[in-house]
Amino acid sequence: MKQFSQLFSTLETSNKTNDKISALVHYFSTATEEDKLWLIALFTGKRPKRPVKTNFLKLWAMEISEIPEWLFLESYASVGDLGETIALLLPPSENSIDQSLSVWMKEIIALHDKTDEEKKEFVTNAWKNLDTQERLIFNKLIGGSFRIGVSHKLLVNALSKYSGIDENALMHAIIGKWKVEETQFSELINGENINTDASKLYPFCLAYPLENELEKLGEAKDWQIEYKWDGIRGQIIKRNEEIFIWSRGEELVTEQFPELVENIKNISGNFVLDGEILAIKEGQVLNFNDLQKRLNRKNVSKKMMEEIPVGLYVYDLLELDFEDLRNEKLEIRRQKLENLIQNAENFKSQISNLRLSEIIDFNNWEELHEIREKSREINSEGLMLKSKNSIYHAGRKKGDWWKWKVAPLTIDAVLIYAQKGSGRRSAYYTDYTFAIKDGEKLVTIAKAYSGLTDKEIMEINKFIRNNSLEKFGPVRTVKPELVFEIAFEGIGYSNRHKSGVAVRFPRILRWRKDKTVEEIDTIETVKSLIM
């Protein structure tokens, strides 16, 4: 545990990517095979089910530390994390257990079959023999809340540096279905029993926000204009009859979209497509909130697929019959893409939810302004402007691809809840919850933490400290007096929110010191924004 604890500390305290990668490489170079395997499992979300109720952990910690519940709750409210609160409140350890991560994990898993008394004995004994940092990790592991700020991409980068194995191959190998108890570390990273070559994806080509007037782009005829959609950007790969779907975050999401896989099967040949996965019903693109209901599900029911069917708007063709097309001009890639899709057998009936991204017909730059303004009517975010001569480059390159989004939607809402931030913001209330009017009461509409200056944050902090009404753990209920203009990209109905609506990418546009709570928007006004 000590080795893993040191790694955890480095990853949590450093904000430099290279330092994190170096720490991971060092761990892979020095840890046992079993410990390396467990690290990958934990960092990719394959943690075991929680064997001990968190309420028991709280009670046992209060008993050992001999503090009343009110003091524990106050400490928890200040710290903001249960595992860390317990680790800090417990008395210094009596001894030291030098036990590996893999041994700890096996013992934690074995707790599922133990009685509550046996669980208590195991947990309290561990607390007595672990230092504060090790206790924190132990608490997170046993409480089922282990999370760490390391993306799959960063983990794979470190694994690649350690092993010399291609990053794309590693990503496919570690993200797939596998069990710690049935896998060896070397087998996992080498992708045994997995055809990693078939799944290899390309770096995504990305766009910059439009910076200048359209006229400065040159001749309008030299540009391909498409709608910008708010879905899941993905690469769809079909090689040797195997199909893989990758998100822009380089996560393998094939199993989440079974109907899309069936669509792709109806297109003959080998290819790599770039496109947008969207919820599409009866030919209409649905709100992102609808699509969100389909995401991160291990099993997609037939009912779910009927209620929220997904489809693909295809943007680009990156590979055809194993030939890399990325250095071809966009207009050439587009022609080949059209030939591929339009020649697909039974195209209209078999793959109705897979279609070419529409190329917008326009005569001059002036016409695009009106087209862009109307784009939200079809649940589009705006327009994409692509040079017909552009290659499919990796990442962002100014000049070739631009995104021109519609102006955000805005509402006026009042601050009702506040919570301290993290990192350099951990001493200040920077995470806010806002509400709108629903008759005579207030209902929450959005959470936001960006858009204010440091000076404004200081002012708001002073107000919160002087005007807190209630405490719920780390959260403070605040007098509903401060009004803010909240901007967001989209809005849709939602059963998961008290207001009945959910907003997309909310942020604070400005502090409306000129408005009172009586002037904030109503639920009726907000719902009228839904298309």
Which pLDDT tens digit goes with each residue over 101-121? Answer: 899 889 988 988 889 999 999
In tens, the pLDDT along 277-313 reads 999 888 888 888 788 888 877 678 888 888 899 999 9
Q: Is 115 helix (H, G, I), strand (E, B) or coil?
A: coil
Active site residue 228: yes
d(CA 442, CA 382): 32
Instruction: Identify the pLDDT of residue 499.
Output: 78
**Residue 152: pLDDT band with limits 50, 70, 90:** confident
Q: Which of 145-154, 399-408, 477-486 has the lowest mean pLDDT?
A: 145-154
Residue 277 pairs in a beta bridge with 232, 312
What pTM did the predictor assign?
0.61
Q: Which of 119, 200, 228, 386 is catalytic?
A: 228
Mean pLDDT of the chain: 86
d(CA 437, CA 39): 47
Q: Which of 52-56, 142-146, 232-236, 448-452 has the lowest mean pLDDT?
A: 142-146
Instruction: Identify the pLDDT of residue 54.
Output: 86
Query: Which contacts qualify for 449-452: CB closer than 8 Å, 24 or more apart?
Result: 449/421, 450/507, 450/508, 451/487, 451/507, 451/508, 451/509, 451/510, 452/508, 452/511
In tens, the pLDDT along 155-198 reads 888 999 999 988 877 877 786 667 888 888 988 888 776 666 67
In tens, the pLDDT along 193-212 reads 666 667 778 888 999 999 88
How many CB atoms neighbour CB 402 within 10 A? 20
Q: Which of 39-43, 200-204, 485-489 has the lowest mean pLDDT?
A: 200-204
Whether 352 shows a pLDDT value over 80: the answer reads no
Instruction: Identify the pLDDT of residue 349.
Output: 43
**Residue 387: pLDDT band with limits 50, 70, 90:** very high
Residue 476 pairs in a beta bridge with 418, 471
For each of the domains in the chain, give its residue range(s) and CATH number, in order of start: 2-142 (1.10.3260.10), 205-405 (3.30.470.30), 409-527 (2.40.50.140)
